[in-house]
Structure 1
Amino acid sequence: MQQTSEPTGGHLVLVTGAGRSGTSTVAGALHHLGLHVPLPVLKTNESNPRGFFESTWPLWFHRRIMDAADIEQVDGRPGARELMHAAADQAVQDELVDWLRGVTADASQIVVKDPRASWVPHLWVNAAAELSLSIGFVTMLRHPAEVLGSRSTYYGRNRKGQAEERSFAVLNLAGWVNQTINTEQLTRGQARTWIRYDDLLEDWRGQMRAVRQATGVDLNHSLEPGVRHAVDDFIDPGLRRHEGSFADLDLPGSLTEIAEELWAAGNLLADRSGSDPEAEQRFDAAATAYATLFADSAAIAQHEARARVRAESQEAEARLRKRVRKARREGVAQGRAEALAERRGLVRRTASAVRRRLRRGNRS
C-alpha cells in the first residue's frame, strides 16, 4: 500500500530518475511553483540552458558515497546497490540530517533534485523522519532510447569509431536499466508519482496536480487552465530533441527487451498514481531477467577480461624492467664518474703533499 504524505514539520520532495529524463524541468517547475531549491546550484550550460535546479551539496554528498563504494553514476552492476548501502553508514546519515536541518530552518517546502539519490533514497526517508518532514518522490520517466540519444549528444562527444560508440550506448542502457529498477524498488511504499517527460511538456498543470496529490505540497498556483503562470514560459516543448525508438540503434536485443519492459511498467505507474501491483511485479521480473543477463554476460567476458589483465600485467612488468635497466645504467655511469672524481682528487692531494715535502726539504 502506497503511503500518502501528511503535512507535519514541512515537505521534502526528492526528484529522481535517470539523468536526461527531464529531472531538471520538473525541479524547475516546482521551484517556480513556490518550492525552495537549496543554494548553491549547478550553473547552466549547453546541455541545460534553462538551469539544472540541482543543489550542489546533495550532488557532492552522493558522489562521496559513490567514491567510497567505487561505483559510477550510471552503473550497470546489479550489486552496486548493496555497495552503496554498505558505504552509507551512520556518520553519513547524520551528515545528511545536519544539512537538511539547516536548509529547512527557513523554508518549509524543499525540492532536491539529484539522479544519484536513486541509489540511497532510504537515507532521505530516515532524515525526513528524524526532522518530522513529509517526504515524497517524483520520478521522471523518458524512453531509454531518448535518454541514450541525449547522453550521446552531450556526454559522449569524445568517442572514436563505431566500436566505442556502441560500447558507450550499451553501458548507458545497462545503467538506465539498473537505475530504473533501483528507483522503483527502493521507493516502493513511499509517497511517490511517476511522470512521463512528454506529459510534463504537454500538460504541466496536470502533472503538477499529480505531484500535489502524492506529496501534499502547497503550490502558488491554482493549476487551473487559462490562468497563466511563470511555468508556461519556463517549460519549452522544443527542448525535446530526441525521439524514443531503438530501431536505429545497434544494441543487444536481450538488453533492449528488458528496457522496453521497464518502460512499459513505468508507464503503468505514471498512469496509476505511482503505485500498481502489476507494474511492481513486472519490475521485479525485469530485475531478475537483468541480473541473469548481467551474470551471463560477465561469464562470457571472463576470457577477454583475463586476457586484458595478462596484457596489462605484461606491459607493467616490461615498464618495470626498463626502469630497472635504466637505473642500473645510470648507477654504473654514476659510479664510474664518482671513481674518476675520487682518483683525480687523490692525485691532487698526493701532488700537493709531495710539493709540501719538497719545500720543507729545500728549506732544510
Structure 2
Amino acid sequence: MAGKTIVKTETSERRQALVVAGMHRSGTSAMARLLSLSGAALPERVMDPGPDNPLGYWEPWEMVALDDEILAAIDSRWDDVFALKGNQRALASRTAFLGKAQDFLTHNFGSRDLPVMKDPRSSVLTGFWREALDQSGLDPTYVIMVRHPLEVADSLLVRNGFPREKSLLLWASYMLAVERDTRGASRLFVSYSDMLGDWRGVLDRVEKTLGRPLPRRTPAAGVEIERFLSKSHRHHEAGGEAFDALGADWAGVRAVYDWMSGAARGAESDEKALDKVERELTGVERVFGPVLAEAMLNELGQRKSLAQATEALEAVTFHREALLVEVDAAKAQFSQFHAEADGKAQELQAEILGAKDLIAELRAELETAQGAYELEQASHQATRHLLQGEIAKIDILSQQLTEVRNQFRQTDTASRDDRIARREAEAEAASQAAKVEILTQQLAAAMAWEPVALNAQATAAVLDEHIKNLTLDREALLASTSWQLTRPLRAVMRRIRR
C-alpha cells in the first residue's frame, strides 16, 4: 500500500538525502531545522528569516528560484490550485532545468553526507527532483509534513490574504501531488502536532525509515531542539470536527486529510480514495481551469504592469534618490565652501584688522616722526638763525678787525712807542709801589721811634706827593691817543682768548 512506511535496508555506495515536503505553512521549515540539528547537512546558502517565519525558512533560495522558474515555464505558480499536473508538465520540460538542479545540488551540498533539502514548491515537482537527485547519486527519503488544512488556510489568510476556499484546494493539490509522486520511494508522513509534541519519536521514525541513525542524536542536540521547538510554532489550531461546519462540498479535502492523518499514525490505507479526489479535482480543472487560467493571466498581466510600474517607480525613486544624493552632496559642498569662505572671510577680516592696527601704528609713528622732524627742523632753524647771528657777529668782528688792522697799521709806529712808554711807566709804577711798601714798612718801624716819627711823617708826605704824581702820569698815559687807538685790538684779543 502507498500509505505504508517504506524502510530501506539495503546498503549502497550512493548517498542518502532527506527531502522535506508538504504544503506551505505545514511545518516544513521547523522539520528541516530539526533534522539539521540532528546531524543532517543544510544547504550552504539558505534564505534569511522573514516576518512570517522569524525562526528561519531553512530552505535554499536557489532551489526556490529554480522551482519558480519551472512553474512559470509550465504556466503555473506556487499558489496554483490545479497544480496536480505540474509534475507531469515539468518532466516534459526537464531537459531545460535538470542541469540547473544538478548545479544547485553540487554547489550547496558537494559530497556531504545526508543533505537535507526543503522547498514546499518541490511537492508539486517531485518527479523532476527525484530524477535530479538520482542523476547526482542521491537516494531521497521523503519526510512529508501533514497539518490540518484549516490551520494552513488560517495561516495563509494572515500571510497572503487568501480566501479559505482557495487555501483548502491548494492544500489538497499539494498533498495529492506529493503522495502520488513519492509512491514507491522511501518516505514517512509526520503530523505537525507530533513534531511539536514528540520530536524524539519522530526522529526515531526517520532513523527507522533511513535504516541508519542520524549523525547527531546527542543530549546537546536535544537541548538545542527543545530551545528551537515550542508551541509558539503553532499560531493556528483546528480539530477534525472543524470540517463539520463546512458542509459536504469539502468532503474531498476531508478525505485527503483523513488519509494523510492515518498515514502519519502508521495506518495502512488504500490510495484509491486519493485517486478519486484527484479525478474530481481534474474534472473541476477541466471546467473551471480556463476561467481560472484567464483570471491568472489577467492577474499576471496586472502583475507585470504593476511590476513595470513598480520598476518605473523604483527607477524614478532611484533617480530621485540619486538627485537627492547629488543635492546632499551639493549642499555638503556648498556648506564646506561656505565654511571655507567664512573661514577665509574671518582670516581676511583679521588681516584687515591687523592691517588697520599696523596702519594706525605706522600713522602714530609717522606723526611722532613728523613731530620729531618738525622739532628738529625748528631746532635746525633756531640753530640756523643762531648761526646766522654768529656769522653776522663774525662779519661785524671781521669788519672791526679789518678796521682795527687798518688803524693798527696806521698807528703801528705810535703804538710801539706807547707800548714802550707804557711798559716803562708800569715798571716805574711797580718800582714806586715797591718803594712805597718799603717806605711804609720803614715808616712803621720809624713810628716806633717817636723822634723819628716826625721825620717819617715828612718823608711820607713827600712820598704821597710823589705817588700822586705817578698816578697822574698813569692817568695821562691811559688817556693818551695811542692807548685809545689800541682799545679795539685789546678787545679782539680778549675774545680770542675766551
TM-score w.r.t. structure 1 length?
0.71
Q: CA deviation at 1:10?
A: 2.1
Q: Which residue of 2 aligns with 1:292?
A: 283
In 1, are the aligned partners of 2:143 and 2:187 still within 8 Å (CA)?
yes
In 1, are the aligned partners of 2:90 and 2:128 still within 8 Å (CA)?
no
The 3 A distance-change label for structure 1 pair 69 and 271 is same
Distance across 2 between alignment mates of 1:173 and 1:10 = 36
Distance across 2 between alignment mates of 1:123 and 1:84 = 6
In 2, are the aligned partners of 1:119 and 1:183 still within 8 Å (CA)?
yes
Q: Which residue of 2 aligns with 1:149?
A: 154
Distance across 1 between alignment mates of 2:65 and 2:164 = 26
The counterpart of 2:90, out of the listed 84, 93, 108, is 84
Q: CA deviation at 1:127?
A: 2.5
Distance across 2 between alignment mates of 1:206 and 1:223 = 14
The 3 A distance-change label for structure 1 pair 248 and 271 is closer
Distance across 1 between alignment mates of 2:58 and 2:118 = 7
Indicate yes or no: 2:61 matched with 1:70: no
Indicate yes or no: 2:274 matched with 1:283: yes
In 1, are the aligned partners of 2:196 and 2:231 still within 8 Å (CA)?
yes
- Any residues of structure 2 matched to 1:121-200 within 5 Å, and which? 121-156=126-161, 168-200=163-195
The 3 A distance-change label for structure 1 pair 230 and 208 is same
Q: RMSD of aligned C-alpha atoms?
A: 3.1
Distance across 2 between alignment mates of 1:251 and 1:63 = 35
Report SS of the residue matched to 1:229: helix
Higher relative contact order (Cα pairs below 8 Å, separated by 6+ residues): 1
Q: Which residue of 1 aligns with 2:23?
A: 18
The 3 A distance-change label for structure 1 pair 19 and 28 is same
Superposed CA deviations along residues 157-215 of structure 1, whole A, max 9, x for unmatched, are xxxxxxxx6xx222221111111110100111100011000010000010111112223
In 2, are the aligned partners of 1:9 and 1:131 still within 8 Å (CA)?
no
Q: CA deviation at 1:234?
A: 0.8
Superposed CA deviations along residues 95-153 of structure 1, whole A, max 9, x for unmatched, are 21233233332411110010011122222222332233221111100000000011111
In 2, are the aligned partners of 1:266 and 1:279 still within 8 Å (CA)?
no
The counterpart of 1:260, out of the listed 254, 264, 277, is 254
- Any residues of structure 2 matched to 1:1-364 within 5 Å, and which? 2=6, 4=8, 6-77=11-82, 78-87=84-93, 89-156=94-161, 168-216=163-211, 218-222=213-217, 228-245=222-239, 253-272=247-266, 276=268, 278-297=269-288
Q: Which residue of 2 aligns with 1:335?
A: none
Q: Which residue of 2 aligns with 1:336?
A: none
Q: CA deviation at 1:218?
A: 3.8
What residue ranges of structure 1 are gaps of 5+ in the alignment?
Answer: 157-164, 313-364
TM-score w.r.t. structure 2 length?
0.53
2:272 alignment partner AA: Q
Give the number of the structure whose alpha-carbon radius of gyration is greater.
2
1:4 alignment partner AA: K
Distance across 2 between alignment mates of 1:205 and 1:248 = 29
In 1, are the aligned partners of 2:26 and 2:147 still within 8 Å (CA)?
yes
Report SS of the residue matched to 2:8: coil
Report SS of the residue matched to 2:96: helix
The 3 A distance-change label for structure 1 pair 218 and 287 is same
1:280 alignment partner AA: E
Distance across 2 between alignment mates of 1:237 and 1:217 = 29
Of residues 176-185 and 36-45 in structure 1, the stretch that sits farther from structure 2 once superposed is 36-45
The 3 A distance-change label for structure 1 pair 248 and 189 is closer
Distance across 1 between alignment mates of 2:124 and 2:289 = 22
More helix by share: 2
Distance across 2 between alignment mates of 1:170 and 1:288 = 19
Superposed CA deviations along residues 231-284 of structure 1, whole A, max 9, x for unmatched, are 1111011221112258779997455211111011001211227xx3x2422211
The 3 A distance-change label for structure 1 pair 216 and 297 is same
In 2, are the aligned partners of 1:10 and 1:134 still within 8 Å (CA)?
yes
Distance across 2 between alignment mates of 1:255 and 1:86 = 34
Superposed CA deviations along residues 33-54 of structure 1, whole A, max 9, x for unmatched, are 1111112211112211111101
Superposed CA deviations along residues 47-84 of structure 1, whole A, max 9, x for unmatched, are 11111101111111111101111102121124444333
Distance across 2 between alignment mates of 1:243 and 1:221 = 31
Distance across 1 between alignment mates of 2:113 and 2:157 = 38
Distance across 1 between alignment mates of 2:223 and 2:12 = 25
The 3 A distance-change label for structure 1 pair 100 and 228 is closer
Distance across 2 between alignment mates of 1:235 and 1:66 = 32
What residue ranges of structure 2 are gaps of 5+ in the alignment?
Answer: 302-498
Report SS of the residue matched to 1:109: coil
Percent identity, please: 24
Superposed CA deviations along residues 1-43 of structure 1, whole A, max 9, x for unmatched, are 7462645332211111000000001001011111111122111
Deviation >6 Å, runs of 4+ = 246-252
Superposed CA deviations along residues 333-362 of structure 1, whole A, max 9, x for unmatched, are xxxxxxxxxxxxxxxxxxxxxxxxxxxxxx
In 2, are the aligned partners of 1:8 and 1:133 still within 8 Å (CA)?
no
Of residues 73-82 and 23-32 in structure 1, the stretch that sits farther from structure 2 once superposed is 73-82
Distance across 2 between alignment mates of 1:47 and 1:289 = 33
The 3 A distance-change label for structure 1 pair 26 and 232 is same
Of residues 143-152 and 205-214 in structure 1, the stretch that sits farther from structure 2 once superposed is 205-214
In 1, are the aligned partners of 2:243 and 2:254 still within 8 Å (CA)?
no
